[in-house]
Amino acid sequence: MTKQANEEAIEAGGDLAGRHIVLGLSGGIACYKAAELCRALIKQGATVQVVMTEAAEQFITAVTLQALSGRPVYTSQWDSREANNMAHINLSREADAILIAPCSADFMAKLLHGRADDLLSLMCLARPIATVPLLIAPAMNREMWAHPATQRNMAQLSSDGATILGVGSGFQACGETGDGRMLEPPELLEDMVAFFTPKVLAGQHVLVTAGPTYEAIDPVRGITNLSSGKMGFAVARAAHEAGAQVTLVAGPVSLSTPRGVTRIDVRSAQNMLEAVTERAQAATVFIATAAVADWRPASSAERKIKKDGSGQAPQLAFTENPDILATLAQSPRGVSGELFCVGFAAESHDLEDNAQAKRLRKGVPLLVGNIGPATFGRDDNALLLVDAQGSRELARASKLSLARQLVAEIASRIKRAG
């Protein structure tokens, strides 16, 4: 990539803006995924230098990776393009990280024993360990992955300071099904972003609720709302990026679970309360983003309620749902501050007044307000942070960007309180 292109990528922003990644490819069919991964890293603002082993060249061409990265691909330790003939030194010193994706079983064994008989292994051995981290995305057949030798090698590499990004499970090129597939490019990208994120919530256990609840009227009908869960899922991802252990209790939504997050699916407000209460004792932060239904039918019909031809709608009685946020905020751990509670308020009007009133009613130190109709289902939002000192706006941005700002705010408050 040219200097101008690099400057434009940084200016345009992106989660990896300004980062320089050496992307190493060892031999394996998963090399085809490296093309998409290279593209994804660059779209997030990184510059990418590709280094391939001889075996990798059997699966994908250097021409492809050069076109995608905008840089000449290196394949030999004797590359004459380097004036000092030390590509293994020059390339490693320029990197913010080296990512081996795919990393074959053979290459993992080579790294473990410090062998350096090609450019990629030589570069990994010669890298400054303290400043250039090594990340490994394994890719191999399920039996190779499960073999004790591979598991020993992986454990030792981790002990030596490498970061193992794990594997996926599913159908493999050999026709078998199981663990050992290289993670998909979006998953690896998410892991890379998380790796570089400051761990401001390290040591914290964050419990997040997200999405709507569904309150059944009969087996086919119910009461719910337009919450998509996107804000809560973004908060869970941001908290994980910041180093927290994260448990996400999600209402009925169709969203992928963020990497590294434990997810519990629930349906009704009562289900959500039970799931949250069970896990609150281990948590240190509770962030209630879920749009919990205020009311539910007093009873749910066992069969579908049919029209009877009278033209009269069925009479439904309602009962109030439990207040999940208030329950946790007013618990002994919530009152003492041992559990830092953050609420969300989705309003239709008078946002600051309603949010401040809700904060006092719930008994939480921080409440996040937004206009529900302007955010439900969208990928962006604008937030209002409300506490005892007043309010502060977070300008409209992507929900993930806002989630990261909120997580930083929570981390700052916890630090001050400690």
Where in the sequence numbering do the catalytic residues fall? 174
Per DSSP, the residues of 280-318 read HTT-SEEEE--B--SEEESS--SSPPPP-SS-PPPP--E
Look at strands 177-181 and 262-265 and give their pairing: unpaired
Cis peptide before 297 (omega within 30 of 0): no
Structure tokens at 155: 């454990």
Helices (runs of H) and strands (runs of E) counted in the chain:
15, 19
Task: Indicate the length of the chain as a whole number.
Answer: 418
* Contact status, residue 186 vs residue 193, Cβ threshold 8 Å: no
Euclidean distance between CA atoms 22 and 174, whole angstroms: 29
Euclidean distance between CA atoms 41 and 36, whole angstroms: 9
Q: Which of 245-266 are b and which e, b meaning 16 or more Cβ less than 10 Å from the residue's Cβ? A: bbbbbbbbbebeebbbbebbeb
Euclidean distance between CA atoms 169 and 326, whole angstroms: 40
240 Cβ contact partners less than 8 Å away, ≥ 6 residues apart: 194, 246, 258, 259, 260, 261
Helix or strand (DSSP H, E) at 124? helix 119-126
Map residue 378 onto helix, strand or coil. coil
Sheet architecture: strand order including 20-25? 47-52, 20-25, 97-103, 134-138, 163-164
